[in-house]
Structure 1
Amino acid sequence: MSSRLQNTLTHNPLHQSIWRMLHLDGILLCLLLLLAAVGLFILYSASDKSLHTIEMQSAHLLFAFFILFLFAQIPPITWQRWATSIYVAGGLLLIVVLIIGHVGKGAQRWLNLFGLHLQPAELMKLAIPLILAKYFHALPLPIKTRSILIALPIIFIPALLTAKQPDLGTAILIVTAGISVLFLAGLNFKLLGGTIVGVIASLPLVWYALHDYQRQRILTFLNPERDPLGTGYHIIQSKIAIGSGGLFGKGFLHGTQSTLHFLPEHTTDFIFAVCGEEFGFVGCLLLLMLFMLIVSRGLMITLQAQDTFSRLFAGSITIMFFISLFINISMVTGLLPVVGIPLPLVSYGGSSMVTMMASFGILMSIQTHKKLVTN
């Protein structure tokens, strides 16, 4: 973003008053709109010029931005009051979905309510940062060991219920959201190191708890060529797509891996590979720069927040956004196992997009509902 646009949005009193009246952060909104537009541009090619796909994604985006605007109107103090209720409701829905949830693609993740497909695990990506930020808001920082021991079940019970569906990708993001709050609240590095050692020591138990397809994904990550036409097919084709793009790419609509259907899930989890093939290293770098501008704006809002609840929640949401794009790009390039996490605002889909935009709505609420401090 140019310095002229930033100055216009931040230093012009008229623009400031308009944005504050709408409870929207102008810089963040412009960046999100730009990312959404870029996402539609890439998706058009990835879907082989499917207008139906673009229309559906546009509808998802319109609803997601509406949720962003709606959530931005609610003051942070209200979100703080609602945190416990949102967490309890999300936890109950996670239990219900394991009992009577809709099964699709081998996973039991959705509830059918009045014709709508609701994914309760997405709600927990908001609920956990909210309730932990509320809990630590009332405590002196940095947090003590007792507080951490209370927070861990709050994080891991919903994560385990989500992993049981199975939905390992969302479970990872739920844990990320919770751990990031602990980190921002002053988690002792000795405790953090001890936790990491404990996680490493428990890996054999985790291995036996995984589903067969999840074990196969890890083995494929270590050696994709062990089954090039089976479990290793996704990542091999993804690397071919990205590598064939070179420095500047093959050009818009000239990718072959997606249009000839060599690249699976090219509109969802592996859409970054389409970007790499058609726009090359330079195009991927520009997309990453756009993502990092959003992250930097989120961190700026975090630093400017006026209370502990707002800082912890804003920081957690920003970190979770970064981790989402980091995991997606890493799995597409073969640096991490495939876990099914979409590229924010670029991959086709509605559930994760709405959750992400809802979190950005609360982020804007934190930025625009500041109390006037006078000397």
Structure 2
Amino acid sequence: MKNNNDSLWARCRQLMWEPMDGWLFVALMAVYVMSMFLLYSADGGDIGRLESKTIHTIFGFILLLAVARIRPQTLSNFAPPAYLLGVLLLLGVEFFGITVKGSTRWLNLGFVRLQPSEIMKIALPMMVAWYFQRYETRLRWYHYLGAIGITMVPVALILKQPDLGTATLIMASGLFVVFFAGLPWKALLISAIGFLISLPLLWQFGMHDYQKTRVLMLFDPTKDRLGAGYHIIQSQIAIGSGGFWGKGWLNGTQTHLDYIPESTTDFIFAVYGEEFGLIGNILLVILYLLILVRGLFIASNAQTMYSRTLAGALTMTFFCYVFVNMGMVSGILPVVGVPLPLVSYGGTATLSIMMILALLMGISYQTRRH
């Protein structure tokens, strides 16, 4: 009987642990545990969002376990239909979307409210990686233009919502694949120069007035203390008042007096900085850097072009979301609607980040098996 139990335990352990990448799993669990304490505090001691986040995370782990065991080359076959579905859902937002605070970004499907742009965090880099793998042995300059075209279709639809922050980051996820596919440095330099030259036109014709205001508030938020500059001012006060050690869990005055806007979602890092201080911020950054370094290591050891470009792009996309959120809350970047990965509340965002980690673990798992 004991041998049977041992055998059953060994099979369960193999099923659960075998596809896991140890470094990613440890970092993921550490950030998740920290986020649960933080969300409880940010929500004023209410367990409603805590329960929802737990459910989202359980579904995320089930997704992670399932996806991590699938060969990346098998998953690549789903890239075109996933990309097409994402584009169709974005078109659905254009005609049937739900408007919240002036932005139309969600679809109500009856049983769930879905933000299609989150799907594109995964579908777009998968599609561009699939595209490059298809032409791997005969890449020409026009294939890079084709990849940029694939990238710009969903970006244009997201810009219409309007959601400049998410559109920019999703565009970056596609362009990262182009870079890892071997984009010549000359082309990269020319593109960067072209982008800089086009900035005045983008400012004049491509940005809404509220987006321009957010950029201007970056330089002097005190010009509109109770309006456009309020978010930055309050988050900076919260982070600064945390000092080195922080005020302690549940003791953040800015948080519990409701001065911090969107404290459970986009500005949850301000809550963290106030309660856990500089030392807590350093710990969180170290965990994120662990995910970044491990992801790039997985990309460098991947065996196929699809796996290499996808792992590199997903890792850098994860890093960009972390950098933009922390920069936004700290006041060094304009305010955009970008959640802090694995920490902010949000079902679709949680599942999309878990999917990113699942794909990275799947690529790592297949590398270890060969």
TM > 0.5 fold call: yes
The count of aligned residue pairs is 359
Quote how far apart the aligned CAs of 1:181 are: 0.7
* Structure 1 residue aligned with 2:5: none
Whole-Å separation in 2 of the counterparts to 1:271 and 1:92:
32
8 Å contact from structure 2 (residues 218, 333) kept in 1:
yes
- Per-residue CA shift, 1:106-130, capped at 9, x if unaligned? 2211122232112211111111111
- Per-residue CA shift, 1:173-208, capped at 9, x if unaligned? 211101111111111222112111222222233222
The change in CA–CA distance for 1:142 and 1:299 in structure 2 (over 3 A counts) is: farther
8 Å contact from structure 1 (residues 143, 187) kept in 2:
no
Q: Pick one of 353, 356, 361 that aligns with 1:356.
A: 353
* Structure 2 residue aligned with 1:247: 244
Q: Pick one of 319, 322, 329 that aligns with 2:316.
A: 319
Whole-Å separation in 2 of the counterparts to 1:141 and 1:163:
34
Whole-Å separation in 1 of the counterparts to 2:137 and 2:321:
27
* Structure 1 residue aligned with 2:254: 257
Whole-Å separation in 2 of the counterparts to 1:358 and 1:124:
12
Q: Is residue 233 from structure 1 mapped to residue 197 from structure 2 by the alignment? A: no
Whole-Å separation in 2 of the counterparts to 1:82 and 1:59:
26
The change in CA–CA distance for 1:261 and 1:182 in structure 2 (over 3 A counts) is: same
* Structure 2 residue aligned with 1:294: 291
Q: Is residue 129 from structure 1 mapped to residue 125 from structure 2 by the alignment? A: yes
Whole-Å separation in 2 of the counterparts to 1:220 and 1:162:
23
* Structure 1 residue aligned with 2:149: 153
Report 1:193-204 matches (<5 A).
Answer: 193-204=189-200
Q: Pick one of 163, 169, 193 that aligns with 2:165.
A: 169
The alignment's TM-score, normalised by the length of structure 1, stands at 0.91
Partner amino acid, structure 1, of 2:195 = V
* Structure 2 residue aligned with 1:337: 334
Structure 2, unaligned runs of 5 or more: 1-9
* Structure 2 residue aligned with 1:3: none
* Structure 2 residue aligned with 1:6: none
8 Å contact from structure 1 (residues 19, 25) kept in 2:
no
Q: Is residue 64 from structure 1 mapped to residue 82 from structure 2 by the alignment? A: no
SS of 2:254's partner is coil
SS of 1:24's partner is coil
Deviates more, 1:191-200 or 1:316-325: 191-200
SS of 2:27's partner is helix
8 Å contact from structure 2 (residues 136, 305) kept in 1:
no
- Per-residue CA shift, 1:325-375, capped at 9, x if unaligned? 0000001111100111111011111111111111211221112234855xx
SS of 1:202's partner is helix
Whole-Å separation in 2 of the counterparts to 1:20 and 1:43:
27
Q: Is residue 111 from structure 1 mapped to residue 107 from structure 2 by the alignment? A: yes
The change in CA–CA distance for 1:331 and 1:141 in structure 2 (over 3 A counts) is: farther
8 Å contact from structure 2 (residues 16, 65) kept in 1:
no
The alignment's TM-score, normalised by the length of structure 2, stands at 0.92
SS of 1:110's partner is strand
* Structure 1 residue aligned with 2:24: 28
SS of 1:291's partner is helix
Q: Pick one of 77, 80, 85 that aligns with 2:81.
A: 85
Structure 1, unaligned runs of 5 or more: 1-13
Quote how far apart the aligned CAs of 1:305 are: 1.1
Moved over 3 A (4+): 19-22, 138-144, 370-373
Quote how far apart the aligned CAs of 1:238 are: 0.7
Q: Percent identity?
A: 45
* Structure 2 residue aligned with 1:9: none
Partner amino acid, structure 1, of 2:340 = L
CA RMSD of aligned residues (A): 2.0
- Per-residue CA shift, 1:221-251, capped at 9, x if unaligned? 1221111111101101111111111111111
The change in CA–CA distance for 1:194 and 1:141 in structure 2 (over 3 A counts) is: farther
Report 1:210-225 matches (<5 A).
Answer: 210-225=207-222
Whole-Å separation in 2 of the counterparts to 1:262 and 1:145:
52
Quote how far apart the aligned CAs of 1:72 are: 1.6
8 Å contact from structure 2 (residues 42, 271) kept in 1:
yes
